[in-house]
């Protein structure tokens, strides 16, 4: 059985790409130095895959920022203000990714969204009426040739036309259909050129096929592929799907004149029964067997059982999705051998593919060794945790009194002005902040010195927040490296990797902690600094926690108990923390659920039954026991919850802040239509870009919000935490924000008097 992968992580074993790109952004290196680093990483990764024994290597899975942006760039889907700007090609590329601001140029970044059910974010391409689809970049050809020069034949990977069109935005008045013809021709041009260069195969990634497809979408897909396959230039086509099953389109897929179909058997078990209805003899099946999302060793016996059910011999062993979603290599971790042997990162997964194919070929020792690993008792169970979960009743999940009563009590209690201003929690994590934390961790400085440093940061920023007259302050989260790891460190049952970085977006990596056993809180986590901060000021300071669903979704979960059970364990631990904060005088507590939507099933039918029915109650469990006058906030990144608004309201928080500035406030109409009761802080500016919004611009946004949401329900805040931003832009932007809020407030008061 031959083996292959869908894609490999590109940040580099030690995040070399991140550091080089950031240096380029800071003008510390030039374009050719950045490209040299990128080229070196590609070489290393191709050779690693090849030398591990994997048969088919891929190219063009690499990106300097994001694959969908690459694809948009490749096909010249570039907004006209960027296209006509005097920037270089690479500068345009990065301008789309992160905005560009100079004396003469002011470009906003493209919106960013979560890539299906992962924590990877892609940039949303924008088609305009004047967009002229044509080939605009040679990246895919260059990388194919680059590998060839190393004597490695590759299968170039490209996001397919259906997924590209499904994920893109369109200027009003145009739609996907308008671009099918030009796009088909452009893809065919790519096929032609690749064929000339000597390529045999191309992989078209079409993950959008695993979502619910409407009649129109199916028609669009078929229209595109019938056109495309009319002239495929003798290039063999692998149509690759992942993250689920293709139930809506399977029967059509097998009739297309493509050469191979890639299916995911990890997240799409239903694919097996689809296959059993028949699979054509003239096609290869790329079988996604090795989990590309989790970091546990593969249980070969289970994988063999899947392989046995496949109705074809023409199988290529594959990962379930790109290895982009797992870290580089377990070799860079310091876990004890007993622990380490249970894990498999990207590099080890390559070996698993090879081993599994060897087992299929008859090498049974490898299977026995693998079986032994799964026969041992591994997980640390905790009877006390299990008991607590068992004693939960329906009342445990409901906060009393009901929302409307609490809202009145809280208005009296807090006496906040109309349109209260606040931030989402973190302030810039400067080099100094990160270095000091690292030095403390390495024991180069003692607790007292470290504490003094953090206290000083908090003091400075509290004072500044008072100066610009924000209404609800935050302590700034300087003591936190990451919103999940920081909590995990004080929760039993968690393991932390040293180098387990996974790309989240562009140059940003996250290091998801690993849930190893039953979870409980070992000590208070945030009380010390929240309490300290509240003592320094007469204004309200928000306590800042991460919610259970996000902690789970941003961790590598266990595979031996359900996600629901792990989440409830975390919820009980965070509940203790909330009650501790309250006891220590913190009256406003924000429980972030930045990643709530992440594990929402891709199929609508499964939303509630498989996810929301336990995820939302898990959140409520965390705050169900607080006093009526304690105000609970939550925060979600991205406003992509238009379709689950009732569920969000059922979280029963008092206030929710969310990203809205990049998505044009579309959500507000839906909130209104759904009689959303929770107070809202739709982000009034985009924090993912260093661009500074003017007071007028923010005021315009506030007016747009006021047009749709009752004024007494509105909070004014940025999109998200400010930890990735510089101090200068943060201060300027927030100053403009408070100024804009004051203008808006004044206008409202004048208006009210009339
Ligand atoms: N409180 C967190 C912060 O401000 C929230 C981050 C997030 O939503 N990703 O950094
Ligand atoms: Zn956020």
Measure CA 691 to chain center.
22
Check residue 377 and give its pLDDT: 76
Q: Is pLDDT above 90 for 688?
A: no
Q: Which of 704, 711, 736, 735 is nearest to 418 (CA)?
A: 711
Say what the alpha-carbon torsion angle 127, 130, 131, 132 is, to the nearest 10 degrees: 150
- Take residue 498 and report the two structure tokens written for it: 């040293």
Q: What is the mean pLDDT of residues 670-695?
A: 94
Q: Is 173 left (phi over 0), alpha (psi -120 to 50) or beta?
A: left
Ligand nearest to the backbone CA of 637: 2
Q: Is pLDDT above 80 for 434?
A: yes
pLDDT digits (tens, 9 = 90+) for 599-626: 999 999 999 999 999 999 999 999 999 9
Ligand nearest to the backbone CA of 484: 1
State the closest ligand 1 atom to the C-alpha of 636, by its place in the atom list counted from 1.
Answer: 8
Q: Which of 229, 191, 182 is nearest to 75 (CA)?
A: 182
C-alpha distances (whole Å) from 278 to each of 254, 255, 342 are 9, 11, 36
Ligand nearest to the backbone CA of 720: 2
Burial (CB count within 10 angstroms: exposed 0-12, middle 13-18, buried 19+), residue 619: buried
3-state SS assignment for residue 271 = helix
The CATH T-level fold of domain 2-374 is TIM Barrel (3.20.20)
State the closest ligand 1 atom to the C-alpha of 721, by its place in the atom list counted from 1.
Answer: 4
The CATH T-level fold of domain 400-753 is TIM Barrel (3.20.20)
Same fold, 2-374 and 400-753: yes
3-state SS assignment for residue 123 = strand
The overall average pLDDT reported for the chain is: 96
Measure CA 249 to chain center.
27
Check residue 662 and give its pLDDT: 63
Helix 180-197 vs helix 215-229: crossing angle, to nearest 10 = 40
When comparing pLDDT for 312 and 72, which is higher?
72
State the closest ligand 1 atom to the C-alpha of 637, by its place in the atom list counted from 1.
Answer: 8
Shortest-distance Cα residue to atom 3 of ligand 1? 721
Q: What is the mean pLDDT of residues 642-669?
A: 88
Ligand nearest to the backbone CA of 510: 1
Shortest-distance Cα residue to atom 9 of ligand 1? 594
Q: What is the mean pLDDT of residues 643-658?
A: 96
Helices (H), 442-562: 447-467, 485-488, 527-535, 548-553
Most informative mutation of 592, 595, 659 for ligand 1 (most atoms within 8 A of CB): 592
Check residue 751 and give its pLDDT: 81
Q: Which of 523, 525, 514, 570 is nearest to 388 (CA)?
A: 570
Let me know the angle formed at the C-alpha of 455 by 451 and 459, rounded to the nearest 5 degrees: 175
Q: Is residue 289 within a helix (H) or strand (E), and if so which, with residue range?
A: strand 284-290
Between the CA of 330 and the centroid of ligand 2 the distance, in Å, is: 29
As annotated, the binding site for L-homocysteine includes 424-426, 477, 592
Between the CA of 662 and the centroid of ligand 2 the distance, in Å, is: 13
Q: What is the mean pLDDT of residues 54-78?
A: 98
Q: Is pLDDT above 70 for 495?
A: yes
State the closest ligand 1 atom to the C-alpha of 723, by its place in the atom list counted from 1.
Answer: 10
pLDDT digits (tens, 9 = 90+) for 620-631: 999 999 999 999
Q: Is pLDDT above 70 for 754?
A: no
Q: Which of 630, 633, 603 is nearest to 619 (CA)?
A: 633
3-state SS assignment for residue 650 = coil
Between the CA of 395 and the centroid of ligand 2 the distance, in Å, is: 30
Beta bridge partner(s), residue 416: none
As annotated, the binding site for 5-methyltetrahydropteroyltri-L-glutamate includes 15-18, 114, 554, 598
Residue 231: pLDDT band (50, 70, 90) is confident
Check residue 663 and give its pLDDT: 63
C-alpha distances (whole Å) from 471 to each of 408, 421, 540 are 19, 5, 7
Q: Is pLDDT above 90 for 141?
A: yes
Between the CA of 691 and the centroid of ligand 1 the distance, in Å, is: 19
Sign of CA dihedral 749, 750, 751, 754: positive
Beta bridge partner(s), residue 58: 155
Shortest-distance Cα residue to atom 10 of ligand 1? 721
Measure CA 260 to chain center.
29
Q: Which residues are catalytic?
A: 688
Check residue 221 and give its pLDDT: 98
Query: Distance between CA 189 and CA 440 in Å, rounded?
Result: 56
Q: Is pLDDT above 70 for 9?
A: yes
Query: Distance between CA 153 and CA 131 in Å, rounded?
Result: 34
Residue 482: pLDDT band (50, 70, 90) is confident
Shortest-distance Cα residue to atom 6 of ligand 1? 721
Cβ atoms of residues 66 and 97 within 8 Å: yes
Q: What is the pTM of this model?
A: 0.90
Query: Distance between CA 442 and CA 496 in Å, rounded?
Result: 15
Backbone angles phi, psi at 265, to 5 degrees: -100, 0
State the closest ligand 1 atom to the C-alpha of 544, by its place in the atom list counted from 1.
Answer: 1
Query: Distance between CA 12 and CA 27 in Å, rounded?
Result: 21
Ligand 1 residue neighbourhood (C-beta within 6 Å): 424-426, 477, 483, 544, 592, 594, 635, 637, 720-721, 723
Q: What is the mean pLDDT of residues 242-267?
A: 97
pLDDT digits (tens, 9 = 90+) for 364-398: 999 999 999 998 877 778 899 999 999 999 999 99
Between the CA of 306 and the centroid of ligand 1 the distance, in Å, is: 40
C-alpha distances (whole Å) from 465 to each of 51, 423, 468, 527 are 55, 10, 5, 21
Whether the bond into 287 is cis, omega within 30 of 0:
no
Most informative mutation of 594, 637, 660 for ligand 1 (most atoms within 8 A of CB): 594
Most informative mutation of 112, 114, 422, 426 for ligand 1 (most atoms within 8 A of CB): 426
What are the residue boundaries of the structural domains of the chain, listed by start?
Answer: 2-374, 400-753
Between the CA of 592 and the centroid of ligand 2 the distance, in Å, is: 8
Burial (CB count within 10 angstroms: exposed 0-12, middle 13-18, buried 19+), residue 199: buried
As annotated, the binding site for Zn(2+) includes 635, 637, 659, 720
Terminal Cα-to-Cα distance of the chain (whole angstroms): 79
Between the CA of 592 and the centroid of ligand 1 the distance, in Å, is: 7
Residue 660: pLDDT band (50, 70, 90) is confident
């Amino acid at each position: 059985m031959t083996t292959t992968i869908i894609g490999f992580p590109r940040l580099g074993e030690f995040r070399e790409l991140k550091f080089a790109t950031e240096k380029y952004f800071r003008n510390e290196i030039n374009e050719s130095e950045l490209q040299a680093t990128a080229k070196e990483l590609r070489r290393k990764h191709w050779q690693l895959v090849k030398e591990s024994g994997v048969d088919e290597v891929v190219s063009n899975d690499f990106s300097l920022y994001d694959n969908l942006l690459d694809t948009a760039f490749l096909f010249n889907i570039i907004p006209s203000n960027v296209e006509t700007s005097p920037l270089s090609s690479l500068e345009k590329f990065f301008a789309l990714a992160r905005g560009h601001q100079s004396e003469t140029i002011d470009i906003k970044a493209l919106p960013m969204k979560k890539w299906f059910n992962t924590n990877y974010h892609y940039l949303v391409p924008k088609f305009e009426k004047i967009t002229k689809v044509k080939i605009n970049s040679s990246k895919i050809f260059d990388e194919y040739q680059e590998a060839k020069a190393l004597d490695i034949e590759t299968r170039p990977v490209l996001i397919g036309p259906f997924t590209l069109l499904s994920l893109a935005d369109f200027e009003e008045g145009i739609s996907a259909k308008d671009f099918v013809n030009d796009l088909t021709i452009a893809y065919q041009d790519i096929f032609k050129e690749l064929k000339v260069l000597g390529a045999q195969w191309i992989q078209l990634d079409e993950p959008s096929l695993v979502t619910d497809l409407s009649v129109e979408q199916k028609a669009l897909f078929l229209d595109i592929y019938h056109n495309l396959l009319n002239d495929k230039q003798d290039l063999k086509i692998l149509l690759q799907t992942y993250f689920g099953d293709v139930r809506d389109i399977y029967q059509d897929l097998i009739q297309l004149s493509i050469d191979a179909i890639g299916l995911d058997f990890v997240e799409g078990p239903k694919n097996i029964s689809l296959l059993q209805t028949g699979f054509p003899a003239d096609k290869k099946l790329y079988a996604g067997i090795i989990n590309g999302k989790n970091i546990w060793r593969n249980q070969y016996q289970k994988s063999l059982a899947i392989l046995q059910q496949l109705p074809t011999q023409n199988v290529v062993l594959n990962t379930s999705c790109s290895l982009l979603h797992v870290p580089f290599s377990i070799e860079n971790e310091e876990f004890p051998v007993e622990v380490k042997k249970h894990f498999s990162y990207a590099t080890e997964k390559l070996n698993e593919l090879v081993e599994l194919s060897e087992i299929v070929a008859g090498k049974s020792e490898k299977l026995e060794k693998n079986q032994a690993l799964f026969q041992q008792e591994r997980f640390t169970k905790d009877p006390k945790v299990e008991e607590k979960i068992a004693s939960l009743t329906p009342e445990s999940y409901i906060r009393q009194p009901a929302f409307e009563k609490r809202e009145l009590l809280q208005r009296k209690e807090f006496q906040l002005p109309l349109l209260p201003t606040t931030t989402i929690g973190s302030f810039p994590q400067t080099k100094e902040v990160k270095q000091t934390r690292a030095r403390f961790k390495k024991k180069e400085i003692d607790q007292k010195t470290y504490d003094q440093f953090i206290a000083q940061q908090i003091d400075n920023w509290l004072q500044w927040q008072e100066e610009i007259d924000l209404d609800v302050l935050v302590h700034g989260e300087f003591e936190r490296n990451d919103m999940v790891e920081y909590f995990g460190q004080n929760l039993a049952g968690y393991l932390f990797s040293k180098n387990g970085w996974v790309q989240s977006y562009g140059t940003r990596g996250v290091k998801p902690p690993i849930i190893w056993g039953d979870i409980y809180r070992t000590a208070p986590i945030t009380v010390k600094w929240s309490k300290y901060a509240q003592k320094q000021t007469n204004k309200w300071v928000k306590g800042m926690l991460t919610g259970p669903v996000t902690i789970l979704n941003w961790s590598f979960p266990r595979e031996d108990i359900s996600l629901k059970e792990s989440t409830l364990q975390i919820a009980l631990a965070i509940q203790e923390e909330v009650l501790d904060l309250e006891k220590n005088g913190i009256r406003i507590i924000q429980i972030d659920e930045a990643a709530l939507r992440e594990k929402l099933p891709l199929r609508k039918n499964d939303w509630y039954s498989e996810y929301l029915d336990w995820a939302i109650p898990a959140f409520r469990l965390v705050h169900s026991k607080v006093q009526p006058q304690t105000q609970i906030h939550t925060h979600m990144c991205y406003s992509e919850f238009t379709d689950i608004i009732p569920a969000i309201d059922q979280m029963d928080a008092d206030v929710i802040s969310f990203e809205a500035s990049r998505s044009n406030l579309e959500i507000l109409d839906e909130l209104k239509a759904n009689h959303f009761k929770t107070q809202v802080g739709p982000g009034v500016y985009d924090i993912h870009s260093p661009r500074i919004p003017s007071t007028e611009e923010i005021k315009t946004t506030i007016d747009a919000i006021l047009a749709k949401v009752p004024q007494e329900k509105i909070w004014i805040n940025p999109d998200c935490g400010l930890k990735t931003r510089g101090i200068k832009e943060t201060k300027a932007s927030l100053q403009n924000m408070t100024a804009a809020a004051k203008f808006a407030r004044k206008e409202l008061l004048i208006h009210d008097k009339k």
